[in-house]
Structure 1
Amino acid sequence: MRPYPPQFLVLLLSLVLLGGCVSQKSLPYLQSGKYSTQTPVTSENTRLTYRLQPSDVLSIRVQSVQPQLNDMFNTTDSRAMLNGDPGTLFLTGYSVDELGFINLPTVGRLKVQGMTVDEAQSVVQQGVAKYVRDANVLVKLLSFKITVLGEVRNPGRYFVYNAQCTVLEGLGLAGDLSEFGNRKNVKLIRQTANGSEVVLLDLTDSKLLSSSHFYLLPNDALYVEPMKARTNRGNATNLGLVFAGISTVALILNYIQSSK
């Protein structure tokens, strides 16, 4: 049995690897011929308003000239807020129960389900004003978390400490897409009252900036599909090992036969 010539193996591996190459045109985001370095291009977009639902966690801060009363409401550890520790924030925040209420000391139960964070802040402000004079109330959503999976550099769950978070910012938290991430087929999975909603996003299309799905909502998940080149590259590696093994066996057999 004659071994495969080295030139044959190199040619075969080269053909396989060509199938695993990623086109440069498929990598840039927001591709459009209207962009220029001279004139800024404005894209209008719709920012969805998030409304509170059960299991959300709120941070409620009360500020007044009566420190002892402030401490009664301010259960959130200020050091945890500065450090952004999600575990501590969840333990010390105010959870929205299954009926849509939060339970404040002295004030009692307040209905916040279906409200925006600003609307909930007004409700809490009115409740606290009955017990603390000239108090200033600040309400923030602590449970704004997103999940990023698939062909990104650092997949996982991330907490957002900003009222507005875009798809690009969410992917940035995960270290951006890998070379093999399919930028034309990113799935956005969103939880709604009727179940899970799945939307396909094309990151290479500049129309994404004006899409109603450009801004993320709490509990959103992004899944980046791998490109075919990812599979081809993996197959090329496996084939390379197979060819190397075959060539080695052929060389051994050839050596045995020639030594007889």
Structure 2
Amino acid sequence: MKSRISLNITVVIAVFTLLLTSCASREKIVYYQDADSVLMNNLQDTKFQTRLQPDDLLMIIVSAEDVEAAAPFNLINSMTSNPLNPAGTGQMQQQLYLIDNNGYVQFPVLGNIKLGGMTRKDALNYLSKEIGQYINNPIINLRIMNFKVTVQGEVNKPGVHSINSERLTLSEAIALSGDMTVYGKRENVLIIREIDGHRVPIRVDMTKSDFMNSPFYYLNQNDIVYVEPNKTRVNSSVVGPNLSLGLSALSLLVTIIALSTK
């Protein structure tokens, strides 16, 4: 009788420990599982170009051999004060162009021009053509100054990431967020992207390497990435608050059974 009770205690403890230490399978947590077998055709690496969209802040600088001729096509730099500087001096700051809700910017000399929806290359070609009617061989430098993406959910460092470049992959965004936790659903990553004024949800399976061939391997500015929690995380959110109570109850049960055998 005593040995049977001891066996029952052992089984209870073993099952409880197994539940606490159970982990997800390899297929649920490993990225790019079929990388060796997938032929990477049609990679987006050389084809991807950012498209300008409403609320983008653009730095556009026009230069030419004739500096005076190019000057009217540039915004006047503004002086910003520095309250931490006891001398009260500030620094020069390049003014930026804001693309409005209809895709337009107010550009010196050219007036109201539409850049929204264009790729960076298209915008450069358009500006070079229009400004070229006034000055010879203009050189245009265009850059998005507020490129950012938001990463939420089961990552170690969720937040909004500001990017200095204009090209960011989904993998890089996840890495900037400290990678996914073991509870993140790698096979069902949600990307919310604005397309033609509509917010469109897209699901990406990061356990399959062919997602690198999709148009969503590279993120657009203002994309939202959400890593959904798996069942283990959802269940733990329910079990977690009661875990200490469960352990106390188990300890009490074991103690009672042990005393009853004496």
TM-score bin (small chain): 0.7 to 0.9
- Counterpart of 2:196 (choices 183, 193, 198) is 193
Structure 1 residues 76, 162: closer, same or farther in 2, change over 3 A?
farther
Measured against aligned partners, the alpha-carbon deviations of 1:24-78 in whole angstroms (never above 9, x if no partner) come to 332221111735xxxx95342344554333322211122334556559716679x
The answer as to 2:45 corresponding to 1:42 is no
Q: What pairs up with 1:141-152 in 2 under 5 angstroms? A: 141-152=144-155
Task: Name 2:28's counterpart in structure 1.
Answer: 26
Q: Which residue of 1 aligns with 2:74?
A: 73
| Structure 1 residues not aligned, in runs of 5+ | 78-89, 254-260
Task: Give the secondary structure class of the aligned counterpart of 1:51.
Answer: coil
2: CA distance between counterparts of 1:108 and 1:124? 12
The question of whether the paired residues in 2 share the 8 Å contact of 1:151 and 1:180 is answered with yes
* Residue equivalent to 1:16: 19
C-alpha separation in 1, matches of 2:178 and 2:250: 40
SS of 1:182 mapped into structure 2: coil
Q: Structure 1's 175 and 74: CA in aligned 2 closer, same or farther, altered over 3 A?
A: farther
TM-score by length of 1: 0.73
Q: Secondary structure at the match of 2:193?
A: strand
Superposed displacement of residue 242, structure 1: 0.8
Instruction: Evaluate the alpha carbon distance shift between residue 26 and residue 64 of structure 1 in structure 2; reply closer, same or farther with a 3 A threshold.
Output: same
- Aligned residue for 2:186, secondary structure, equals strand
Matched ranges for 1:100-249 at <5 A: 100-193=103-196, 195-235=198-238, 237-246=240-249
Q: Percent identity?
A: 26
Are the structure 2 counterparts of residues 75 and 149 from structure 1 closer, same or farther at C-alpha, using a change threshold of 3 Å?
farther
Give the number of the structure with larger relative contact order, counting CA–CA contacts within 8 Å between residues 6 or more apart: 1
Provide Cα deviations, 1:179-215, integer angstroms capped at 9, x if missing partner: 2111111111111226222121111112212223222
With over 3 angstroms needed to count, the CA separation of the structure-2 counterparts of 1:74 and 1:64, relative to structure 1, is: farther
TM-score normalized by the length of structure 2:
0.72
Distance in structure 2 (CA, Å) of the matches to 1:236 and 1:221: 30
Q: Who is 2:88 aligned against?
A: none
User: What's 1:85 paired with?
Assistant: none
Secondary structure at 1:226's aligned position in 2?
Answer: coil
Aligned-pair distance for 1:11? 3.1
Please list every run of 5 or more consecutive structure 2 residues that lacks an aligned counterpart in the other structure: 1-7, 79-92, 257-262
Q: 2:55 matched to which residue of 1?
A: 55
User: What code does the residue aligned with 1:21 have?
Assistant: C
Q: For residue 149 of structure 1, report the CA deviation from its aligned partner.
A: 0.7
RMSD: 3.6
Does structure 2 conserve the Cα–Cα contact (< 8 Å) formed by 1:64 and 1:70? no
In structure 2, do the counterparts of structure 1 residues 28 and 70 end up closer, same or farther at CA, with 3 Å as the change threshold?
A: farther
Distance in 1, Cα, partners of 2:71 & 2:160: 33
| Equivalent residues of 2:59, 2:97 under 8 A apart | yes
